[in-house]
Amino acid sequence: MRQLHLEGDGQAAASVATHDRRRLESIDALRGIGIAAVVALHTSWALLDRSTIVSDAGRVLAAVHLGAAFGVPLFIGLSAFGLARRHDFRVEGAAAFANFLSRHALQLLPAYVVWSLLSAGLRDTALLATPGRVLSLLIDGSAGAQFYFVPTLFGLYLCWPLLGLLVPRRSHAARVALFAAGALMSLAVWQGTLPLAWTSPCSFAVYIAGGMAAALLTSPSRRACVYAMPFALLAAAVTLRIDVGRFIATPMTSDKTMELASTIFQPVPAAYTCAAIAFLALAVTLAAPSTALRWAAELGRSAYGVFLNHLLLLQFVVHPLLGGAIAADLSAASAVQRFAVEWAVTLAGSVAITRLLARSARTRWLVGAG
């Protein structure tokens, strides 16, 4: 009987280990999808300029840009999900929180500093003219279009001892209330009611709250995923259609490029983003285990390195070699083809650079793998 009991315990432990491994693979797969979307966001942006934004090709690329805007919010939501799932510093204590901060700072910040300085120097050496300017661009993440994510992430880390108190442990109603409160806070920041920096965690409160609310939900069954996916897909399709239609219907001027740049800080795109993330989470859960999921997870494990280096590769290598911004008279179909090529080459090249740097103990820290 004792032997049978031990075998049962072993089987239970193996089942739990398998479940945890699949969950981690699913999270890595979502990271892979997220970084592919981030590269698509910046590739579509690079192909646009002030003249082509008003053309048919420009409208198509703008739609691609709007559709790919869920990438950074997905990473923010996954970070909040992981924090809520793994850390309760009320129980773990101040020493555990300090260890958490120092570990993540040593993993992420040295690479962030190097790639930020390299990006700023290539863009405009005046950005590095004084220590004050250097410190400013590192704090607000203004060295390149993508770097704001790191200060925002560390803002989330610093706030977590307080935010963790809000994690709803039991009630579904409390989870809904938390998500609604996050949405209202984001809206207040976006509209200027709360005068906070757009890189602050409060700007991403709706996505942070969503990750926190989802963290303590039980894993949905395959049947539940099959039933829920059409509703999430429909919500994403409808909100994206509304967003693209609104963008195209308004006067097409060069100022529209700024509206594209701030798309995740608007209510309708935020609704699309939340629906798209929900659909992807359900799809990844349903796909496990599969070859496609493993490929996405493998990409997700290189996500931070790709995040750091892809824009330099795109701006200074891929985009110039393939001809720069599209012509104003280019057809929509040709624009999509050009986008697909630039996106694929940039993503593949960034992954190759990340893996090459990660292979050596001397350079792996440059991609956060130290």
Residue pointed to by tokens 């930020």: 116
d(CA 214, CA 199): 23
- Asked if the structure places residue 15 within a domain, the reply is no
The domain tally of the chain equals 1
Residue 279: the pLDDT is: 95
Instruction: Report mean pLDDT in 10-residue bins for the chain, 370 residues.
Output: 46 46 83 97 82 74 90 94 86 88 93 94 87 90 86 91 80 86 89 68 90 80 87 95 80 53 77 95 87 93 96 93 76 88 96 96 89
Residue 13: the pLDDT is: 42
- Asked if the structure places residue 17 within a domain, the reply is no
Ordered DSSP codes for 261-320: HTGGGSHHHHHHHHHHHHHHHHHHHHH-S-HHHHHHHHHHHTHHHHHHHHHHHIIIIIHH
Neighbours of 107 (CB within 10 A): 14
pTM: 0.89
The half-sphere exposure of 127 on its side-chain side, counting CA atoms within 13 A, is 16
Residue 201: the pLDDT is: 81
Neighbours of 13 (CB within 10 A): 10
Do residues 189 and 152 touch, judged by C-beta distance below 8 A? no
How much is the CA Rg of the chain, to the nearest whole Å?
21
Do residues 202 and 186 touch, judged by C-beta distance below 8 A? yes
- Asked if the structure places residue 11 within a domain, the reply is no
Residue type at position 8: G
Residue 5: the pLDDT is: 45
- Asked if the structure places residue 268 within a domain, the reply is yes
- Asked if the structure places residue 20 within a domain, the reply is no
Do residues 287 and 293 touch, judged by C-beta distance below 8 A? yes
Q: In what helix (H) or strand (E) does residue 314 lie, and over which residues does it extend?
A: none
d(CA 290, CA 311): 30
- Asked if the structure places residue 134 within a domain, the reply is yes
Residue 15: the pLDDT is: 45
Domain that holds residue 79: 25-367
- Asked if the structure places residue 10 within a domain, the reply is no
- Asked if the structure places residue 178 within a domain, the reply is yes
Using alpha carbons only, what angle is made at residue 222 by residues 220 and 226, rounded to the nearest 5 degrees? Answer: 100
Cα-based distances in Å from 123 to 45, 311, 347: 17, 12, 21
